[in-house]
Each structure stands twice: as structure tokens, then as C-alpha cells.
Structure 1
Amino acid sequence: MDIEWFKPAAFVGSIVYALVGVVVFWLCFVIIDKITPYDLWAEIVEKHNRALALVVAAMCLGISIIVAAAIHG
């Protein structure tokens, strides 16, 4: 039985990579929010713009896949 996941180095490495991924994702979202001509959060939450919410969701998935691929491989 291989308990590679139980080793402290593997656990700490996983936590560090997860934090790096979240930070990179957050920075990308903030940059895209600044590039767009309107406030994404206000447009989605206050004005209930579902089309924009779907576009932002697709963008979030795309950034997440890119970050995961960069960290994994």
C-alpha cells in the first residue's frame, strides 16, 4: 500500500499549489474586471444580468483550467 499522499511534503506542496492557483485566478479575474467598461459585480448582482453571469462563469472555468494545467504539468 502506497501512502504517498500521507507524507508531509506532498501535503504541504498540495496546499501551496492550491493557494498559488487561487491567487492567480483571483488576479486574472481582477484584471478582466478592470479591462471591461463596466463593473462586473454590480452588473451581475444588482442588475441581474444573466447573460453576463454566464460569460463570467465561462471565463472563470477557462482561467481555472489554464491555471490547473500550468500547475499540474
Structure 2
Amino acid sequence: MFEAIVLAEVVATIFYTLLGLVLLGICWKLIEWITPFSLRQEIEEDQNLAIAVLIGCLFIAVSILIAAVILS
């Protein structure tokens, strides 16, 4: 019985991890679509540190929101 509980928890953890990553990827695509310029070009080629920090903070905020929704 203990193995069944542990297996169910592992499967649920893997499922919710993948769900969170997919939702984070969708948010990234949505942000890319909304902005009038290429975020990848600004961060990689132009090395715009301000946009990189902003996107990093945005990812943290979206990750917290996704975790709160999954846990509720």
C-alpha cells in the first residue's frame, strides 16, 4: 500500500511539473507575440540587461501564479 501512495505522488509530481512548464512556455509565447520587437534579439544580440531582468522577474511571477493555481 505504501508503494501505491508513493507511486501516485511521483506520477502527480511529474504531471504537475510538466503542466507548469507547458503553461510557462505558453506565457513566453504570449509575451513574445504581444511585444512589438523580438525579445530574443534584444536579449541575445543587443544584450539589453533591463529586458532580461524584466523577463526574469516576469517568469518568477508567472511561476508563482501557476504554482498557486495548481496547489489550490
TM-score (norm 1): 0.89
1:29-40 aligned at under 5 Å gives the runs 29-40=28-39
Match of 2:71 in 1: 72
**SS of aligned partner of 2:47:** coil
Q: Following the alignment from structure 1 to structure 2, what is the Cα–Cα distance between the partners of residues 22 and 33?
A: 16
Q: CA deviation at 1:17?
A: 0.4
Give the aligned length. 70
C-alpha offsets along residues 10-69 of structure 1, whole Å, 9 cap, x if unaligned?
100000000000000100111011100011011101000001111111111111000011
1:1-73 aligned at under 5 Å gives the runs 7-73=6-72
CA RMSD of aligned residues (A): 1.5
Q: Gaps (5+ residues) in structure 1?
A: none
Q: Following the alignment from structure 2 to structure 1, what is the Cα–Cα distance between the partners of residues 65 and 15?
A: 17
Q: Gaps (5+ residues) in structure 2?
A: none
